[in-house]
């Protein structure tokens, strides 16, 4: 009887293996050449889930198998001689260098491999985990595939391969809001505030003034940054729930001839008030100002066209509507505006927009260590955002928002900003009498929903964001719980 060697590593044993062994047994008695643990570590780069002895024990109990012998990754003539083998059976991915007359190639069983089983297990694990519904305004709920994309081989970010990833990311992020011919994205390791701080501290010339519209906590934060860095700024205070009075804003511009830049928040995350970029862009154009936009909670959901809307600089981050992980803040900017920054001494060492920009052109690298795994998650998030399309993403978010606000009306709960000026992304809701936010938070948290406190001092509110990998059904589940909670507590 012929002795037939079937070589395999069988780290996760499945029906593809047994079918192969059965077929091989039709040619003689089957000897399994089982790859040793050392070889798997060295050639495949991972620890086998089952060690050699365990794999051997399983294989020996299969009726088609006569014997199991240890082999290295590749089989050569010496191995055949050592075990007195007549034929070697292998799948159609054979790279064993042996005489063709002794080789039998069988196609692999379709749809199964140890690798695909491993991926399925990881996917199921990540999906189970991902069902925490984040109703806070970012970091948002992410897809299982975004979570899994962070599990990558270790890589030094100074390698060209990583530089290529960053260049691709920069281009793709730009194309969501502008034309890559005239605009580019400067990436920083840091949260969204890092991007805002990089803009403000790099852009305003020392002999010029910055006009900041403050109609919420994030407009106020821009004022705090300007103050901290001694940037000459004018604070234009505006209602946190009503649209900006554009006539008054224009008067302020006219009265202050030294203003060179106008800074605004697009979607004030404090309330969900959506500032009108078309109007602000027109005003900036009329008075030859550069418009700076913090689009942290609108970018990649509400369509933005930087060129049409006359926006010179826009800040956003990796963990809100783009649906990636936290850790990258970025500034999308007009290349011609960035070039002009050469003349302005940066106020910050780390967050120097011009130096980060010029260094990236030369090297495709951030100046300092980037958040490596976050960059891989961002890549996957961009792929998924493009697949869904920004307009469709906003439709999905809007549909969740309609579900939310209809539900609130049924529960007789009121929210701060009129629908007409609402971003449909985050809603600031009045807390009804007799309800304690912390208690409500803990109730929802235990049930897998994270809700968020309000941020406007004069109103007792809580916030619900409808961004991330969630949809109107998740909002419906939240509303059912909310009704139950209010019924139990009031
Ligand atoms: C409009 C706006 N700007 C800035 C930030 C600050 O971002 P980060 O918390 O990532 O620093 C946020 C965060 O929610 C925001 O909504």
452: closest CA among 14, 87, 134, 131? 134
Residues in the chain: 490
How far apart CA 149 and CA 69 sit, in angstroms, is 37
Domains in the chain (CATH in brackets) are 3-114 (3.40.50.620), 144-388 (3.40.640.10), 390-489 (3.90.1150.10)
pLDDT mean across residues, the chain:
95
pLDDT, one tens digit per residue, over 3-36 is: 999 999 999 999 999 999 999 999 999 999 999 9
59: closest CA among 83, 91, 35, 92? 35
How far apart CA 160 and CA 156 sit, in angstroms, is 9
> What is the 14 CA–ligand 1 centroid distance (Å)?
48
Cβ-based burial of 29 (10 A; exposed 0-12, middle 13-18, buried ≥19): middle
| Ligand 1 contact, 215 CB (< 6 A) | no
The SS3 call for residue 165 is helix
Q: How far is CA 467 from CA 269, 335, 374, 375, 450, in A?
A: 12, 30, 19, 20, 12
Cβ-based burial of 349 (10 A; exposed 0-12, middle 13-18, buried ≥19): exposed
pLDDT, one tens digit per residue, over 395-446 is: 999 999 999 999 999 999 999 999 999 999 999 999 999 999 999 999 999 9
> Structure pTM?
0.83
Looking at 103-117, 118-132, 209-223, 345-359, which range is the least confident one? 118-132
Residue 378 CB: number of other CB atoms within 10 A? 30
Q: What is the pLDDT of residue 303?
A: 97
Q: What kind and span of H or E run contains 476?
A: helix 472-489
| Ligand 1 contact, 294 CB (< 6 A) | yes
pLDDT, one tens digit per residue, over 272-281 is: 999 999 999 9
| Ligand 1 contact, 185 CB (< 6 A) | no
pLDDT, one tens digit per residue, over 297-351 is: 999 999 999 999 999 999 999 999 999 999 999 999 999 999 999 999 999 999 9
How far apart CA 71 and CA 9 sit, in angstroms, is 9
| Ligand 1 contact, 467 CB (< 6 A) | no
How far apart CA 172 and CA 177 sit, in angstroms, is 9
Q: What kind and span of H or E run contains 52?
A: helix 52-60
């Amino acid at each position: 009887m012929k002795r037939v060697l079937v070589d395999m590593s069988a780290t996760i044993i499945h029906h593809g293996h047994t079918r192969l062994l059965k077929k091989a047994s039709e040619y003689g008695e089957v000897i399994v050449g089982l790859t040793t643990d050392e070889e798997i570590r060295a050639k495949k780069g991972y620890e086998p889930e089952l060690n050699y002895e365990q794999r051997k024990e399983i294989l020996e109990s299969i009726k088609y198998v006569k014997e199991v012998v240890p082999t290295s990754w590749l089989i050569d003539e010496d191995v055949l001689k050592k075990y007195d083998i007549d034929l070697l059976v292998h799948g159609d991915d054979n790279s064993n260098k042996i005489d063709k007359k002794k080789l039998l190639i069988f196609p692999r069983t379709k749809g199964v491999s140890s690798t695909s089983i491993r991926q399925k297990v990881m996917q199921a694990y990540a999906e189970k985990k991902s069902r925490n519904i984040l109703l806070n305004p970012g970091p948002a709920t992410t897809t299982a595939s975004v979570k899994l994309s962070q599990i990558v081989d270790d890589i030094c970010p100074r390698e060209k391969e990583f530089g290529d990833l960053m260049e691709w990311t920069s281009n793709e992020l730009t194309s969501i809001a502008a034309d890559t011919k005239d605009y580019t994205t400067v990436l920083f390791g840091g949260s969204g505030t890092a991007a805002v701080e990089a803009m403000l501290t790099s852009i305003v010339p020392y002999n010029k003034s910055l006009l900041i519209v403050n109609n919420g906590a994030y407009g106020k934060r821009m004022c705090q940054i300007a103050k901290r860095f001694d940037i000459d700024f004018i604070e234009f205070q505006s209602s946190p729930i009503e649209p900006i009075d554009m006539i008054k804003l224009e008067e302020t511009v006219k009265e202050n001839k030294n203003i060179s830049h106008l800074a605004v928040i697009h979607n004030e995350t404090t309330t969900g008030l959506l500032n009108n970029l078309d109007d602000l862009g027109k005003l900036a154009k009329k008075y030859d100002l550069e418009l700076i936009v913090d689009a942290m909670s609108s970018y990649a959901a509400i369509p933005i066209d930087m060129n049409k809307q006359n926006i010179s600089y826009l800040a956003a981050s990796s963990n809100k509507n783009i649906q990636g992980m936290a850790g990258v803040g970025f500034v999308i900017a007009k290349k011609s505006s960035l070039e002009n920054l050469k003349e302005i001494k940066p106020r910050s060492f780390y967050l120097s927009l011009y130096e980060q920009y010029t260094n990236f052109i030369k090297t495709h690298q951030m100046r300092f260590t980037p958040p490596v795994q976050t960059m891989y998650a961002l890549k996957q998030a961009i792929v998924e955002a493009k697949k869904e399309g920004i307009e469709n993403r906003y439709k999905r978010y809007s549909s969740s928002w309609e579900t939310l606000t209809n539900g609130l009306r049924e529960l007789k709960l009121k929210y701060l900003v009129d629908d007409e000026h609402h971003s449909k992304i985050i809603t600031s809701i009045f807390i009804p009498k007799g309800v304690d936010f912390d208690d409500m938070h803990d109730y929802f948290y235990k049930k897998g929903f994270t809700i968020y406190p309000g941020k406007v001092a004069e109103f007792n509110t809580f916030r619900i964001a409808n961004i991330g990998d969630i949809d109107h059904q998740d909002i419906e589940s939240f509303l059912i719980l909310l009704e139950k909670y209010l019924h139990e507590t009031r």
